[in-house]
Chain A
Amino acid sequence: MTLDRKNFLVGTGVAAAGAAIGFPAIVGAAPEPIRLGTIPCLTGSNALLGSQEHDGIQLAVEQINARPEKVYDGRPFEVVEEDATNDNQSAVSALNKLLGENIVAVICPVLSTQVQAMAPVMKSHDIPWMTGGTAVKNTQLGVGGMFRLRASDGITAAAMTNFAVKEKHAKKVAILHASDAFGTGGADQIVQNLKKMNMDPVANEQYPKDAKDFTAEILKIKQSGADALLMYIQNPSDTAIILQQLRSLGFTPPIVGSPSLGNQTAMETAKKNANGAYAAVDFIVGFNSNVATHFLTSFYQRFHHNPDVGSGSGWVFDSVNMLAAVYRKQKSTDPKRTIASLKSLKGFEGVLGRFDADAEGNMVHSVSIGRIEDEKLHLVKTVSA
C-alpha cells in the first residue's frame, strides 16, 4: 500500500466527514474495554506453564465478552499479554512494558522466582496482582495488592506430610525434589512439618535440572529404608521419568506428590507408572461444583485436551472471573477499590473451590488428597488449613 501525505489527508477528510454526519453516535457509544495485563512464560523451559496460563485466560475472557453485558455496562475485557520468558530480567522488562499499557490489573506468571523478581516494581503500583506462585513468601513481599489464588506450599506440604505420617503410618519419610525454587521451597516446608512431629526425613534428595537418570537418588532412598516418599517436582517430564524409574527399580512404598503430580499433563505423561501414587492438589477432586464442570467441558471444547487445573489454567480462569465479579459489583475498575474489595472477598465460587481472602492475600485454604488411577484423580480426603 502506498500511503503518501495526500492520500492520508483525503482519507482523514472522508473519515472526519463521516464522523460529522452521524457516526459518532455509534462510535462514541462503544464502551471502553477493560485492559487486563498478563505475563505468562510463553517461551523457554517453562513454556508449558505459560501456554496453559494463556489458554485459561483466553477462555475466561471469551466467555465473559460473549455475554450481552460483557464485564459490566457492555465493557469487554481486553487482554494485554507480554512474555515473561524464562529469565527474571526479561520478566521485569515485560512487567514494565505492561505497566505502560494502561492496565487495571495484572495476572502474574506462576513461577515464584519471577513474582519475587518483579516485587520491587510491583510495590510502587497500587493495582491488583493475581498470582498462582505457591512459595509461602510470595504474599509476604510487602506488595499491597498481591492475591494468591492457589494453596501455598505451606498448606500443601503440611497436608502431604500429615497424610503420609498419619494415614499411611509412615515412620521413615524420604523426600525427592527438584533444585528449582518450587522443589527446594516445598522440600523445606515438608522438613519443617516433619520437625513438628519430631521426625527427620531419612533421605532428602535433590536432583539437578534436566537430569535424566535417577538411579543414584532412588537407590539412596531405598537404602534409607523409607516407608513413604514425598515428591516436590513441577516439571511433568521429570515426574514421569522418575515414576518410571521408581517402578523399574522396584520401589513400592506409598508416593505422595505435590499438586503438580496431580496435573493432567503429569498423569498423561507418566501413564500407568503414576497408578497408585497420591497427590495433594489445591482443587476439589471429583469436580462436583457447577463452575468446575462448566470449566472442564468448555475447556475441552475450546482446546481439545484436558486442562491442568491447579498450576495451569484453572487459577487464571478463576482470577479473570473474580476480577469480573468485583468490577461488576462496584461498577468500576478503580484499582484501589478493587484491592479493597478483593481483600474482603468471601465465598467466591471458582474452579478451584471456595475463595476467602485472608489478611495476607491468600485465597485458598484447603487441599485435597487424590489417588491416581489410569490418568485420573480419585478423592481420598480434603484437608483444611
Chain B
Amino acid sequence: MHFDPVANLQLLVSGLAIGSIYALVALGFVLIYNAVGVVNFAQGEFVMFPAYIAATFALPAVAVFGGVVHWQLPLIAVYLLVIVLMVGFGLLFNRIAYYPLRDRGWLPVVISTIGVSIFLRNLVQLTWGSQPLVLPPLFPVDTIAVGALHIRPQDLAIIGVTALLIAFQYVLFERTTLGKQMRATAQDRTTARLIGIRVGRIVAITFVYSALLGTVSGLLVAPLFTVTKEMGALIALKAFAASIVGGFGSIPGAIIGGLTIGVIETFGGFYVSSAYVDAIAFVILIGVLLVRPSGLFGERVAEKA
C-alpha cells in the first residue's frame, strides 16, 4: 500500500474525533473513581440515556410506550430539559447504586452498577422500542472539504467541546472551593470529613457531574451514531481502557489516553486489520499496564482500595 499523506491526515482527524469521545467518557470514569474508588460500569448508559430523552423532546414523532409523542421542542430547550433531568438521574443513581454500598468495598458497587446498566438498557427498550432514533446534527452541512480532506463539523464540535470541558474542569478543580473539596475528598475521605467537608454531598455532586459529562457526550455523538440502547457500551469500555492507559485517576491521563487509543485504532484499522481493531486497543492497554502499571500519567502506583 503506498503512503498517501491525505489519507493519513484523514485518519488522524477521525482518530482525534473518536478519541475525544473516549476522552470525554473517560473523564466521567475518572471523576467517580477519584471520588469513591470504584469503576462505574453503567457509564455507557450515562451516554445512551440522555440521548433517548433528547430524541423524545426533539423529534417530530417518537414512539413512547406504544403511543406516539410529537413535542418537537427547539434544541436549546431540549438540551436544558435533558440537563435538568440528568441532574436528577445522577442523584438517583448515587442514592440507589452507590450510597447503600458505600462502606462495602469496590466489588459490590461494581456489581450494582452492572445491575443498573442491565436495568437501564431494558428500560429503554421497553419505553422507546428497538428502532434506532436519529437526532438532527447541530450543523446543517455534513462535511467541509479542506483540499482533499473531508471534515465533519460535528467532529470539530466534539473536539471543541472536549477542550472547553477540560478547561472548565481545570478551573473548577484549581480555582473554586467546591473543586478543592472534591479533590480533597478524592485524596482522603477520612481527612476530608475531619476538616469539615460534607463528603456525602461532595460524592453526590460528583455523580451528578459525571452524569452531565455523559450527557454532553451523548448529545454530541447522537447525531453521528444514531440513538440505540447499545450506543454507549463499547465507547464506555474503550474509555475505561483510555483512563487506565493514561493512568487511572489522572485527568490529563484520561484525555491523552482517549486520544491515543482513538488515533491508534484508526491507524491500526487502516494499516493492520479492521477485523482486529478492538484487539489493537486492548493489546496496547495490556502492554502499557505491563511496562508501566501506573499508566502514562499515573501518580499513584498502589491500587486505591
Question: Are chains A and B touching directly in their complex (CB below 8 angstroms)?
Answer: yes
Structural contact, A47 and B130, CB atoms closer than 8 A: yes
Contact B275 A216 (CB under 8 A): no
Given the known interface contacts A43-B125, A47-B125, the answer about A216 and B270 at a Cβ–Cβ threshold of 8 Å is: yes
- Say which one of B35-43, B96-104, B184-192, B221-229 lies at the interface with A: B221-229
Say whether, besides A216-B269, A304-B63, A211 and B277 are in contact (CB < 8 Å).
yes
The A243-278 residues at the B interface (CB cut-off 8 A) are: 244, 247-250, 265, 268-269, 271
Q: Does B129 contact A (CB under 8 A)?
A: yes
CB interface residues, B 241-276, toward A, < 8 Å: 265-270, 274-276
The docked-state distance in angstroms from the alpha carbon of A240 to that of B1 is 29
Residues of B contacting A249 in the complex (Cβ-Cβ under 8 angstroms): 10, 143, 150
Q: Taking each of A45, A244, A305, which has the highest tally of chain B beta carbons within 10 Å of its own beta carbon? A: A244
Q: Are B134 and A240 in contact (CB under 8 A)?
A: yes
Of the 9-residue stretches B162-170, B194-202, B230-238, B287-295, which lies at the interface with chain A? B230-238
Is residue B142 contacting chain A, with contact meaning CB distance below 8 A? yes
The yes or no answer to A212 lying at the interface (CB within 8 A) is: yes
Specify which chain A residues have a CB less than 8 angstroms from the CB of B234 in the assembled complex. Answer: 209-212
Query: At the interface, yes or no: A35 with Cβ under 8 Å from chain B?
Result: no
User: Contact at A269–B226, with CB atoms within 8 Å?
Assistant: yes
| In the assembled complex, B206 has its CB within 8 A of some CB on chain A | no
Residue contact B274 to A237, C-beta cutoff 8 Å: no
Which B residues touch A236, using CB under 8 A? 131-132
A75 on interface, CB distance cutoff 8 Å: no
8 Å CB contact of B142 from A213, A237, A247: A247
Residue pair B1, A51 in contact (C-beta under 8 Å):
no
B262 to A, closest residue via Cβ: A213
B183 close to chain A: CB less than 8 A? no
**Pair A219/B224 contact, Cβ less than 8 Å:** no
Whether A206 sits at the interface, judged by CB under 8 Å, is yes
Complex CA distance for A220 and B145, rounded to whole angstroms: 19
Partner among B18, B63, B229 whose Cβ is within 8 Å of the Cβ of A212? B18
Q: Does A287 contact B (CB under 8 A)?
A: no
Chain B, Cβ-Cβ closest to A220: B270
CB-CB under 8 A from A48, the residues of chain B are 130-132
Contact check, A244 vs B224: say whether CB atoms are below 8 A apart. Answer: yes
Q: Is B122 an interface residue (CB 8 A)?
A: yes
Q: With both chains docked as a complex, state the minimum distance between the C-beta of B22 and any C-beta of chain A, in angstroms.
A: 10
A124 beta carbon closer than 8 Å to chain B: no
Report whether B152 and A248 are in contact in the complex, using a CB–CB cutoff of 8 Å.
yes
Contacts of A223 in B (CB 8 A): 1, 4, 7
Contacts of A219 in B (CB 8 A): 7, 10-11, 270
Q: Say yes or no for A192: interface residue by CB 8 A criterion.
A: no
Q: Are A43 and B122 in contact (CB under 8 A)?
A: yes
For A50, the chain B residues whose CB sits under 8 A away are 130
Q: Which residues of B contact A206 (CB under 8 A)?
A: 274-275
Asked if A250 and B270 sit within 8 Å, CB to CB, the answer is no
A179 within 8 A of B: yes
Pair B134/A241 contact, Cβ less than 8 Å: no
B210 at the interface (CB under 8 A from A): no
> In the assembled complex, which residues on chain A have CB atoms less than 8 Å from the CB atom of B229?
45
A163 at the interface (CB under 8 A from B): no
Is A188 close to B, CB under 8 A? no
Which parts of A347-384 form the interface with B (CB within 8 Å)?
none
Contact B277 A51 (CB under 8 A): no
Query: In chain B, residues 8-48, which have Cβ atoms closer than 8 Å to a Cβ of chain A?
Result: 10-11, 14-15, 17-18
What is the chain B residue whose CB lies nearest that of A184?
A: B275
Closest B residue, CB atoms, query A236 = B132
- Does the CB pair A212–B130 fall under 8 Å? no
Which residues of B are found within 8 Å of A210, using beta-carbon distances?
Answer: 230, 233-234
A47, A216, A217, A271 pick with most chain B CB within 10 angstroms: A216
Contact assessment for B63 and A213 in the assembled complex, using a CB-CB cutoff below 8 Å: no
B73 at the interface (CB under 8 A from A): no
| A244–B137 CA distance with the chains assembled, in angstroms | 12
Tell whether B68 is near chain A: CB-to-CB under 8 Å: yes
Min CB–CB distance A274 → chain B (angstroms):
12
Q: Give chain B interface residues in 36-73, CB to chain A under 8 Å.
A: 63, 68
In the complex the two chains form, what is the Cα distance from A208 to B265 in whole Å? 12
Whether the Cβ atoms of A305 and B63 lie closer than 8 Å is yes
By a CB distance below 8 angstroms, the chain B residues around A43 are 122, 125
Nearest chain B CB to A178 CB, angstrom units? 11
- B297 to chain A: closest CB distance in Å? 24
5 closest Cβ pairs, A-B complex: A216-B269, A215-B14, A48-B130, A210-B234, A216-B270
Given A212-B224, A236-B132, 16 more A-B residue pairs with CB atoms under 8 Å apart are: A47-B130, A208-B274, A209-B234, A211-B234, A213-B14, A216-B266, A216-B267, A223-B7, A237-B132, A247-B142, A247-B143, A248-B143, A249-B143, A250-B143, A269-B131, A269-B226
Which residues of A does B touch, CB under 8 Å? 43, 45, 47-48, 50-51, 179, 205-213, 215-217, 219-220, 222-223, 236-237, 240-241, 244, 247-250, 265, 268-269, 271, 304-305
Q: What are 28 A-B contacts with C-beta separation under 8 Å?
A: A43-B125, A47-B125, A51-B130, A179-B275, A207-B277, A210-B230, A210-B233, A212-B224, A212-B225, A212-B235, A216-B11, A216-B267, A216-B268, A216-B270, A219-B11, A220-B270, A220-B274, A222-B7, A237-B132, A240-B226, A244-B142, A247-B143, A249-B150, A268-B131, A268-B134, A269-B134, A269-B226, A305-B131
